[in-house]
């Protein structure tokens, strides 16, 4: 596993550079930005792919078992250049938002203060974090699901365009869920960095 030593090497190198060039930043802040970059560039895109497969499998698992295929993955469809660009823009915007929300430790401190305000201890703090994650996911998923439902109602069940639309909408739903999961992971990593470095 090269990711861990590579990440530690980059962090140590950036920390030494910050000392040499007198950057007004701490080793913890550098590590937080590095973790935010790792989440935005690697974890979020991989989570979209994984969650998309999981959503599709859950939705079609009974048909897959009937056909003898227990590992149903999302079928591939041909995307237009416009659809590919929209997906790329979604990934880029989500990555930039992850960087901006997870990288600065001030945001993590503010989030922790808000969670401590509504919780009564460490156990309820984790519960408050989960509830906040569910609320963010619900806020982001509701428009996607409403648009999806409206688009799917216009097409009859046997229409091949409906199947393609289901696959495309499955990706956007997975992207929303994956972004929220990545955001929560980022806040947990940032909180661990704050408490240990």
- pTM (2 d.p.): 0.81
Confirm whether 185 is domain-assigned.
Answer: yes
Q: How many C-alpha atoms does 115 have within 13 Å on its Cβ side? A: 22
Confirm whether 22 is domain-assigned.
Answer: no
Q: What angle do CA 194, 196, 197 make, to 5 degrees?
A: 75
81-99 pLDDT, tens digit each: 998 999 999 999 999 999 9
Confirm whether 30 is domain-assigned.
Answer: no
Q: What is the pLDDT along the chain (197 residues), one digit of tens a residue?
A: 666 677 777 777 777 777 778 777 787 888 888 899 999 999 999 999 899 888 887 876 655 444 444 555 667 778 889 989 999 999 999 999 999 999 998 998 888 888 888 877 777 778 888 888 889 988 988 888 888 778 888 887 777 788 788 888 889 889 999 999 999 999 888 888 888 86
Confirm whether 167 is domain-assigned.
Answer: yes
* Structural domain total, the chain: 1
How far apart CA 30 and CA 192 sit, in angstroms, is 14
Residue 132 lies in domain: 38-196
């Amino acid at each position: 596993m090269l990711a861990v030593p590579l990440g530690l090497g980059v962090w140590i190198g950036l920390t030494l550079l910050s000392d040499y060039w007198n950057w007004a930043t701490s080793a913890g802040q550098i590590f937080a930005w590095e973790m935010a970059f790792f989440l935005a560039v690697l974890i979020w895109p991989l989570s979209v792919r994984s969650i998309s497969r999981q959503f599709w499998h859950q939705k079609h698992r009974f048909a897959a078992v009937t056909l003898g295929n227990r590992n149903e993955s999302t079928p591939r469809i041909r995307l237009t250049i416009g659809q590919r660009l929209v997906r790329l823009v979604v990934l880029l915007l989500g990555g930039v938002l992850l960087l901006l929300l997870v990288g600065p430790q001030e945001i993590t401190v503010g989030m922790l203060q808000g969670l401590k305000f509504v919780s009564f201890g460490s156990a309820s703090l984790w519960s408050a974090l989960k509830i906040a994650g569910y609320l963010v996911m619900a806020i982001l998923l509701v428009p996607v699901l409403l648009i999806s439902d409206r688009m799917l109602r216009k097409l009859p069940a046997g229409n091949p365009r409906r199947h393609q639309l289901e696959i495309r909408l499955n990706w956007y739903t997975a992207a929303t869920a994956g972004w929220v999961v990545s955001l929560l992971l980022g806040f947990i990593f940032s909180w661990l960095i704050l408490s240990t470095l």
